[in-house]
């Protein structure tokens, strides 16, 4: 199998796994802090296992060597995770995914401010179009809870975009170790706010699948697959997450988006596809 095909398959599988987050949140049916705690515990076990396999006898050195840049990355990851789960519990999965689709534009804006990366006219046009779609979606929000969920989704997207830019600034940062430590930190932060005792077997299974597959294995697949394809191809493939996430909760939990949400989402996705199209046609990474 060609390396590019192999890379695309890994990233496609990671996007499919990521798209299950909303379904697992609905399946767990837990309050946000309890869900954060249990999900993060399972994510920590999974990611720490990968990190231990990768570093073996040098694991302690890898953990103690993350430095101040690692602490920043861990903080951003913790904020993103907490905001994401609160967003999914406050509003529909479709609303959260549509906001998340603006990730390329927010990342580009942060790159411009942080590392003076050039902003193109194409980016500005696509970004403005995407935010028009967001405005249409937000205007249809039924309750104040939906608005809070959309705000939390923006916090999640902005902090995740910051992680992407931070990784560019510090390319030698060991992301496997950082993500494992971030999951552990999330679990510790959630403990004082969690409901005591074990959740139901169904909820515990949902947390295990969310932490182990959606947050653990998906990240490792994306990290490895992204080495063989362009950033544009990776970004384009990750849009599967935005489409599949709402579809899964629609099928399994009857969470049907409003027409305005579908219209706004179509505008956002169209803007993203148009923006990423030239990068997708770029040569493959040798």
Mean pLDDT value of segment 152-179: 90
CA distances from 111 to 104, 156, 166 (A): 10, 17, 9
Cβ neighbours of residue 114 closer than 8 Å, sequence gap 6 or more: 165, 169
pTM (two decimals): 0.89
Place of tokens 């579809």: 247
Q: According to DSSP H, which parts of the chain are helical?
A: 3-18, 21-28, 32-55, 59-64, 67-90, 93-100, 103-115, 121-139, 144-169, 175-190, 201-209, 218-225, 231-253, 259-280
Mean pLDDT value of segment 244-272: 87
Give CA–CA dist 120/123, Å, rounded. Answer: 5
Q: Are 194 and 234 in contact (CB under 8 A)?
A: no
SS3 of residue 120 by DSSP: coil
SS3 of residue 10 by DSSP: helix
Dihedral sign, Cα of residue 255, residue 262, residue 146, residue 197 = positive
Q: From the centroid of its chain, how far is CA 164?
A: 11
Q: How many CB atoms lie within 10 A of CB 2?
A: 9
Tell me the domain boundaries of the chain.
3-280
Mean pLDDT value of segment 97-112: 86
SS3 of residue 148 by DSSP: helix
Per-residue pLDDT at 215 exceeds 70: yes
Give residue 151's pLDDT band: very low, low, confident or very high (50, 70, 90).
very high
Q: Which residue has the higher pLDDT, 233 or 219?
A: 219
Report the pLDDT value the prediction gives residue 226, as an integer from 0 to 100. 76
Torsion angle of C-alpha atoms 264, 266, 270, 273, degrees rounded to 10: 110
- Rg over alpha carbons for the chain, rounded to the nearest Å, is 18
SS3 of residue 31 by DSSP: coil
Report the pLDDT value the prediction gives residue 67, as an integer from 0 to 100. 92
Report the pLDDT value the prediction gives residue 63, as an integer from 0 to 100. 92
Per-residue pLDDT at 105 exceeds 70: yes
Give CA–CA dist 241/84, Å, rounded. Answer: 14
Per-residue pLDDT at 177 exceeds 70: yes
Average pLDDT, the chain: 88
Report the pLDDT value the prediction gives residue 236, as an integer from 0 to 100. 73
Percentage of residues in the chain having pLDDT higher than 70:
94
The pLDDT tens digits of the residues spanning 159-168 come to: 988 988 888 8
The pLDDT tens digits of the residues spanning 43-89 come to: 999 999 999 998 888 889 999 989 999 999 999 999 999 999 999 99
Q: Are 268 and 133 in contact (CB under 8 A)?
A: yes
Per-residue pLDDT at 2 exceeds 80: no
């Amino acid at each position: 199998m060609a390396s590019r095909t192999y890379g695309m398959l890994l990233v496609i599988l990671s996007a499919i796994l990521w798209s299950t987050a909303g379904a697992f949140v609905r399946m767990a049916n837990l309050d946000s802090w309890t869900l954060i705690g249990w999900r993060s515990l399972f994510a920590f076990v999974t990611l720490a296992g990968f990190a231990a396999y990768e570093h073996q006898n040098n694991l302690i050195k890898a953990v103690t060597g993350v430095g101040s840049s690692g602490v920043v990355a861990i903080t951003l990851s913790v904020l993103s995770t907490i905001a994401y789960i609160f967003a999914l519990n406050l509003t529909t999965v479709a609303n959260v995914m549509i906001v998340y689709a603006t990730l390329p534009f927010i990342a580009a804006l942060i790159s411009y401010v942080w590392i003076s990366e050039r902003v193109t006219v194409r980016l500005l046009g696509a970004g403005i179009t995407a935010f028009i779609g967001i405005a249409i979606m937000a205007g249809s929000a039924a309750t104040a809870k939906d608005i809070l969920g959309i705000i939390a989704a923006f916090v999640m997207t902005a902090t995740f975009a910051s992680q992407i830019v931070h990784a560019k600034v510090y390319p030698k940062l060991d992301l496997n170790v950082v993500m494992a430590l971030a999951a552990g930190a999330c679990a510790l932060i959630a403990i004082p706010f969690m409901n005591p005792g074990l959740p139901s077997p169904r909820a515990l299974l949902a947390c295990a699948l969310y932490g182990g597959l959606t947050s653990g294995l998906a990240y490792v697949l994306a990290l490895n697959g992204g080495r063989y394809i362009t950033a544009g191809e990776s970004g384009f493939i990750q849009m599967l997450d935005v489409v599949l996430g709402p579809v899964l909760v629609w099928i399994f939990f009857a969470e049907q988006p409003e027409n305005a949400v579908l219209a706004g989402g179509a505008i956002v996705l169209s803007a993203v596809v148009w923006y990423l199209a030239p990068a997708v046609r770029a040569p493959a990474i040798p």
